[in-house]
Amino acid sequence: MESMADDQEVLARYSRRAGRFADVISAAPPGRWSAQSPCATWTAADVVQHAVDMHAAMFVPTDLARAPGPSVTEDPLGAFNSARADVERALGDPAVAGLAVQTPMGPSTFAAHVDGVASADLMIHSWDLARALGLDYSIDPDELDDQWQGAQQIPDIMRRPGAFGPGIVVFGPVVEVPDDAPVQDRILGLLGRDPHWT
C-alpha cells in the first residue's frame, strides 16, 4: 500500500498534468475541434472525450459517486474540469486514495491506478491534443526521464483495445524511431505516435 506522502505526490503529479491538459484545451483556436489528431480514428474533441472517459474508468472498481458535468460537445474545458475535480477530490481523501481496487492490471490502490493510467495518459494526450489543434507542445522536461523508463515497460494489456472498458484504447502499436532521436521522440514512438505527425 502507498503511504499518505506517496498519495500526496500522486495528487500533485496528477494536478500538474491535468493543468497542462486544461491549458491546451483553453488554447484551442476556433473551429478546430473536428480536426484530425495523431490518433488515427480520433478528432481533437475525441482526445478530450477519451481523457474524460479514462477518468470515469478510474471509478469503475469503486462505488464512489461522480458529479455530473457538461458534455465534451457542449463544453470541452468544462467536461474535462468536471472529471478532473472528481479525481482531485478522490485523491485528496486518504481513505479513497488508499482504497484497494481491482484493475485490468491486477490489484492496486485507487491512487496508484490513477497515477499509472489516467494521470500518465494526460502527459501524452496533451501532445496529441496540441498537435490536433495546430499548437506546438513539448512534454514537461521534468517528466521525460520518468516517462522514458515507463514507456519501455508498457505491459501488453495497455495496448489491447477495450481492456479498460468498451471503446477505450490506451496505447497503440510502437512506431519505430531512430535510436539517436531526442528522448521525447523516442517516448512518443513507444507510446504509438509518430513524433513528426502534422
CB 92, CB 4: distance < 8 Å: no
Question: pLDDT tens digit string along 67-111?
Answer: 899 999 999 999 999 999 999 999 999 999 999 999 888 899 999
Entry pTM: 0.86
pLDDT at 166 over 80: no
Question: pLDDT tens digit string along 7-63?
Answer: 899 999 999 999 999 999 999 999 999 999 998 889 999 999 999 999 999 999 998
Q: What is the mean pLDDT of residues 156-168?
A: 75
pLDDT at 66 over 80: yes
In this predicted structure, what is the pLDDT of residue 93? 95
CB 83, CB 52: distance < 8 Å: yes
Q: Give CA–CA dist 103/109, Å, rounded.
A: 9
In this predicted structure, what is the pLDDT of residue 4? 58
Q: Give CA–CA dist 108/86, Å, rounded.
A: 19
pLDDT at 159 over 60: yes
Closest CA to 150 of 129, 120, 180: 120
Q: Which helix (H) or strand (E) holds 10?
A: helix 4-26
Start-end of H helices in 66-158:
76-91, 94-97, 110-114, 120-132, 141-151
Question: pLDDT tens digit string along 143-155?
Answer: 888 788 777 887 7
